[in-house]
Amino acid sequence: MGVKASIRSENLTKRHPSGGRELTVLDGVSIEVADGEFVAVLGPSGSGKSTLLGLLAGLDRPSSGKVFLDDWELSKLSEDRLAKLRKQEIGFVFQDFQLLENLTARENVLLPLELSGVPTARERADEVLAMVGLAQRGHHYPAELSGGEQQRVALARAFGPKPRVLFADEPTGNLDTATGNSVLELICELRRAEGTTLILVTHDAQVAAAAERRIHLAGGRVVLDESDNGPDSGEDKTADASAAARSAETNGGANRGTEGDHERGSQTGAPAR
């Protein structure tokens, strides 16, 4: 790439037992994401995109292959060390916001900052709430906020500790088009202002178009890796993408029928902060 990769995977594979056989959710995926890059991961339901995000973020462990954050191989870290690394280096934004309902917006943003020992936690919480346009809404509870406002609180919480890498799993999926576009613009603005590496999972090509680079998955494999400077893989991989998508559709019931469930299952629960 010419720029040091902040995240990279080598032959990443994930399998799950399913009805007496093994279901391959992710199959030999090798990618590199450079510091400060904005990458969108696209694919239909069951293509392995959320599984890939979970493995890259250290939320799950691969069946085989490796994931590196800088020089740290995640699978070799203890759970305690991995949790500490996520708290210090990684941020998360989810489709369903995952705010704590018994805390105000400001308290939701403040919590990871205090857990990280940020000495100016209160000032930083106020700063990021202002950055997402909610300076006057910090005293409200999640139930008193609209969906778009809740996702803005989630963004403030994620960017508050200044993570080097932010993982976003369908961050506009629960929002109407106008609100989703507004949230996407805000993610892009915050990412540029903070210099954050962003890996965003989506099934929406319009959302993915905001990224500098787009990685397409089908059948658990990378079938196209394209950037604003042009596709890295040319016509052959584009043809492979179509063929793999058709194959996944044809064989989905026999070989990969529950993959979407496995993807969702691997993403349950909020990450350690």
160 in a structural domain: yes
Amino acid identity at 223: V
Domain of 186? Answer: 5-266
Sequence-distant (6+) residues with CB within 8 A of 87 are: 112, 115, 116, 161, 272, 273
Whether 251 has a pLDDT exceeding 60, the answer reads: no
Q: How many CB atoms lie within 10 A of CB 201?
A: 28
Contact 97, 153 (CB under 8 A): yes
State how many domains the chain has.
1
Residue 69 lies in a domain: yes
Q: How much is the pLDDT for 87?
A: 84
Q: Are strands 21-34 and 5-18 parallel, antiparallel or unpaired?
A: antiparallel
Inside any domain, residue 273: no
Residue 38 lies in a domain: yes
Close Cβ partners of 56 (under 8 Å, ≥ 6 residues apart): 7, 9, 67, 167, 199
Would 204 be classed as within a structural domain?
yes
- CA dihedral (175, 44, 198, 138) in degrees, to 10, reads 20
Residue pLDDT, tens place only, 159-218: 999 999 999 999 998 898 999 999 999 999 999 999 999 999 998 999 999 999 999 999
The reply to whether 259 falls in a domain is: yes
Residue 66 lies inside a defined structural domain of this protein = yes
Enumerate residues 6+ apart whose C-beta is below 8 A from 250. Answer: none
* CATH number for the domain harbouring residue 241: 3.40.50.300
Asked whether residue 81 is assigned to any structural domain, the reply reads yes
Averaged pLDDT of the chain: 83
Q: Is 109 exposed, middle or buried (0-12, 13-18, 19+ CB in 10 A)?
A: buried
pLDDT in tens, 111-168: 999 988 899 999 999 999 999 999 999 999 999 999 999 999 999 999 999 999 999 9
